[in-house]
Amino acid sequence: MVATSSVPYTFFVGHKVSKVAWIQDDKTQSGSTLPLIVSGSADQIDGNKITLWRPTGVGHGHMHDTQEDFPDLVNLAEWSPPDSVTDLKRFQAAPGDSIKIMSSCLSGEMSLLEATVREQSYKWKELSRWRLHQDACISVDVNTGSHEAVSIGEDGILNVIDVGSGTSKAKRRIVTGEGAPLRAVRYLQPNIVATLST
């Protein structure tokens, strides 16, 4: 669902969506920003996907009377993750940067993806992949202004990753005392993260 000007829109995308990230694309020649949506799917028999979407016709600020007036959601690019997607975070948010997304999945893997534009069409490219959890990797977060990201999993482990290092190992690894599954992680400050466990 997309809400602009207090008008919610719902789009049928043909698969079960587990996570959504709203991002802003580069400015158009007119100076307005174009919204983009990244979604991750789960539990799909024919394979899961991370999809980059662009809503069209959104933001008119009025209700639509006919089916033809409703906005559309255009599929710009798809990538196949190894399992159901559990989290999506935008890695760089500065204007003009390429679109980089950190994703996590039930198989315990994380991927850094980049959406590039070639010949006026988007294409996903996997820049890095990490397998740092024995069980599902439930949540990831990125440290804005640095090359660090964190991941947590059902194995009770928190990993700090240096994305720019090119290594597949964690920079720091913290195991919870009870080994309780961790459910969420967020950066509060550049050197402080908060976690939620069950």
Q: Which residues pair with 40 in a beta bridge?
A: 19, 50
Q: What does the alpha-carbon distance between residue 1 and residue 149 come to, in Å, rounded to a whole number? A: 27
What pLDDT score was predicted for residue 29? 40
Q: Please check whether residue 182 is in contact with residue 138, taking contact to mean a CB–CB distance below 8 angstroms.
A: yes
Q: Please check whether residue 152 is in contact with residue 135, taking contact to mean a CB–CB distance below 8 angstroms.
A: no
What pLDDT score was predicted for residue 125? 93
Spatial CB neighbours of 111, under 8 Å, sequence gap ≥ 6: 81, 102, 103, 105, 126, 128, 129, 130
What pLDDT score was predicted for residue 28? 46
What backbone torsions phi and psi does residue 68 show, to the nearest 5 degrees? -65, -25
Q: Please check whether residue 182 is in contact with residue 196, taking contact to mean a CB–CB distance below 8 angstroms.
A: yes
37: left (phi over 0), alpha (psi -120 to 50) or beta: beta
Q: Please check whether residue 135 is in contact with residue 182, taking contact to mean a CB–CB distance below 8 angstroms.
A: no
For residue 187, count other CB atoms closer than 10 A to its CB. Answer: 18
What pLDDT score was predicted for residue 139? 96
What pLDDT score was predicted for residue 7? 59
Which parts of the chain have pLDDT scores under 70?
1-9, 24-34, 57-71, 92-97, 177, 179
